[in-house]
Amino acid sequence: MRLGASYESLIRSEAQAVDAEDISPPRDSDETDVWLTEWQVAEDGFKVELDQRVDWALVPMDQDWLARLFAGRRTVPLQRDTYAEATRDLGASDWTYLSGRVARIDQISVRYQLSDDPAEHGLVPEPGGAMQHTVPSLHKPRAHHGRIVGWIVRVRG
């Protein structure tokens, strides 16, 4: 006796092909890369697009987070942290004020996995597994693996 079965999923998903990662060209001397965190962008309804003029107050980037995402493949010196004003004095020496035009936006996505470190519980980013795809604005995402965790915005000024 042969048994056969088939079913149609109740959840329909449109599988999208994911392009190979875009490699960011080296920064020119008048360019600065800035990290924007996905949940802060979503919470604030923050918008950024190519060629937009920006005037940002920035703090040093969390290098441990960046190393976890990229394993040394990408460097970003600064971040726009919307909560930094609550924890840092605006006159402190670690603030950087940057003005210029947006020259490039890289959407950063990563897959998560269960941690095998007893000090960490739950899901953590795949070490070094971040992918970057160039986009025209924060609100026009490209197909990606995993979850978007932020953007690296290159400002020319």
pLDDT digits (tens, 9 = 90+) for 93-150: 889 999 999 999 999 999 999 998 888 889 999 999 999 999 999 999 999 989 999 9
- Taking the C-alpha atoms of residue 145 and residue 47, their distance in angstroms, rounded to an integer, is 23
- Taking the C-alpha atoms of residue 147 and residue 1, their distance in angstroms, rounded to an integer, is 45
Could you tell me the pLDDT band of residue 9, with boundaries at 50, 70 and 90?
A: very low
Task: Tell me which range, 25-29, 86-90, 118-122, is most confidently predicted by mean pLDDT.
Answer: 25-29
Query: Which of 55, 38, 149 has its CA nearest to residue 98?
Result: 55
In whole angstroms, how far apart are CA 12 and each of 26, 34, 145? 41, 36, 18
Q: What percent of the chain has pLDDT over 90?
A: 69
One DSSP character per residue, 58-114 reads EEE--HHHHHHHHTTS----EEE-TTHHHHS-TTSTT-EEEEEEEEEEEEEEE-EEE
User: Do the strands 53-60 and 78-80 form a parallel or antiparallel pair, or are they unpaired?
Assistant: antiparallel
pTM for the predicted model, two decimal places? 0.84
The DSSP letter of residue 137 is: B
